[in-house]
Amino acid sequence: MQSRTIGFLHGNIFLLSAVIGAGIFVSPKGVLKYSSLNIPVSLSIWALCGILSMINGLCVAELGTTFPTSAAPYFFLKKSLGSCVAFLNLWMEVFGLFIGLAAQSLLVASYLIQPFYDLCLPPELPKKCLALAILWSLGLLNIRGLAIISWFQTVSTLMKMAILCLISLTGIVLLVTGKKENIFKFENALDAEFPDASQIAEAILQGFYSYGGSTFLVNLAGEVKNPGQTLPRALISALSIVTVIYLLTNISFLTVLTPKEIIFSDSIAVTWMDRVFPSMQWVISLGISTAIIDNISCGILKGSRMLYAASQEGQLPLIHSMLNERLSPAVAVIQLIILSSIAVIPSNLTNLIKYLGLICWVLSGLNMIGLLKMRYKDPDLRRPYKVWLPLIFASLASSLFLIFMPIIQSPKMEHVYQVIFVLCGLLYYWFHVHLNQHSVGSETITCYLQLLFNVSPSGDHETCISTNKN
């Protein structure tokens, strides 16, 4: 779709941009809650989530190096497990993506508008309007092409890394030179209640949300220089940095605030800043806003490439795979922004994080099953990078544990809704692929949309919609 412009340095920047975002500012609350306020357990879960994310990312990297195309995991699943499973992968991931984009845009709008309402909560209408403005601004930025997005990601990544380094270093200084109660808090942490297996699974789902963009670069494999070397190296280096920063940030939060204060805080970072630097609260608000905006931009970039790839494979309307003059799938970007705009409604963030984490592990499990099948079915397939086999089994075992443990330990009605959602994806797949794919009305609509958005088929297509007769 585009030239290969992403090297090792920009690969690290893209990964840091995709991974570090709203999660580190909201997940500590959920991790502590499901860890039974046990500090050592919660910190261990943060480290475990980093290790699992790296393992999962290295496994998925094999897909991107074997099939170095945009949305490589989708293309790989289509080859290994069939079109239906690939579409379900797309169905779940895009659903989780636009719900996540909506929640993130509302969150950054809340942080930006809160200083104007000092002693009360901001009204919903201006918050929603600001969230929509942020979504559409970032959507238009993505339409301008990958080069502009790369510069935006670089600047915003440096800003949010500076904020997290400030929090981390301040926490270390307070822990070493601060009051005795800060150290006493950690010394007596082992006396806290130990969570059961179901709670640990829920805590991992909460923590894994903060690492949710670990496979982002694999979806851009078609635009990565030398993917066989760049993808695994960038994953190891970027995720190692993220894991260390997340641990230090959580230690800083726990040094200043008690676990109960973190649980009952609506904004952990702002509460932390009020306690440490009361006059610099705007710095944290700006840093959090930058981090979330950065995540939203990465989500739009990833989602548009997935819609593009699915359209090329005939599982979505052809208009999604058409490019503008800047080689951007403009219609796919606009479609994603429209869905996210519809979803800009108040949500329970803790439950939303759990659902998004569950979707990530279901998709990870599907990728590992497909990877094992291709290893058995086609062992001589050229693989520039081949992950160690035990890592695949470790990732698959983690996925199965996190998916089924909460269901076995405490079955709920929401699990039935999740099954219904998957069945709806199957129904849509059957309707679109088998009934409506080649209808005359669909070709006419595609032609008009092509003229409206000034897009044309990419070089990967052999046919041109604009040559079809009216």
Q: Residue 466 — pLDDT band, cuts 50, 70, 90?
A: very low
Q: Which residue has the higher pLDDT, 313 or 189?
A: 313
Interior/surface letters 32-63, b for 16+ CB within 10 angstroms, e for the rest: bbbbbbbbebbbebbebbbebbbbbbbbbbbb
Within 178-221, residue ranges assigned H as helices are: 180-187, 197-208
Spatial CB neighbours of 348, under 8 Å, sequence gap ≥ 6? none
- What's CA 467's distance to the chain center, in Å? 38
Gyration radius of the chain's alpha carbons: 22
pLDDT at 176: 80
Q: Quick check: 192 pLDDT over 80? A: no
The residue ranking higher by pLDDT, 137 or 160, is: 137
d(CA 48, CA 52): 6
The Cα–Cα gap between 469 and 110 comes to 50
pLDDT at 240: 95
227, containing H or E segment: helix 227-256
* Beta carbons of 242 and 161 less than 8 angstroms apart: no
Per-residue pLDDT band for 55 (boundaries 50, 70, 90) equals very high
Amino acid at 311: S
Of the given ranges (322-326, 444-448, 466-470), which has the lowest mean pLDDT?
A: 466-470
Interval 257-276 mean pLDDT: 81
pLDDT in tens, 322-366: 887 777 788 888 888 988 888 776 555 555 556 666 777 788 888
Which residues have C-beta within 8 Å of that of residue 228, sequence separation ≥ 6?
Answer: 65, 384, 385
| Full set of structural domains in the chain with CATH | 8-412 (1.20.1740.10)
Taking residue 440's Cβ as centre, other Cβ atoms within 10 Å add up to 8
What is d(CA 107, CA 353) in angstroms, rounded to the nearest whole number? Answer: 13
Residue 401, pLDDT > 80, answer yes
Place of tokens 């940030």: 249
Name the band, by pLDDT with cuts 50, 70 and 90, for residue 274.
Answer: confident
Here the tokens at position 197 are 């297996």
Residue with tokens 């994603």: 336
Lowest mean pLDDT among 63-67, 89-93, 343-347: 343-347
Structure tokens at 397: 């075992």
The answer to whether residue 79 scores a pLDDT higher than 90 is no
pLDDT in tens, 151-167: 777 777 788 788 888 88
Inform me whether the pLDDT recorded for 145 exceeds 90: no
Locate 104 and state its tokens: 């993130």
**pLDDT-based confidence at 369, cuts 50/70/90?**
very high
**Using 50, 70 and 90 to split pLDDT, how confident is the model at 142?**
confident
pLDDT value for 308: 83
Which one-letter amino acid corresponds to residue 260?
K
* 12 token code pair: 């690290």
Structure token pair of residue 127: 């918050």
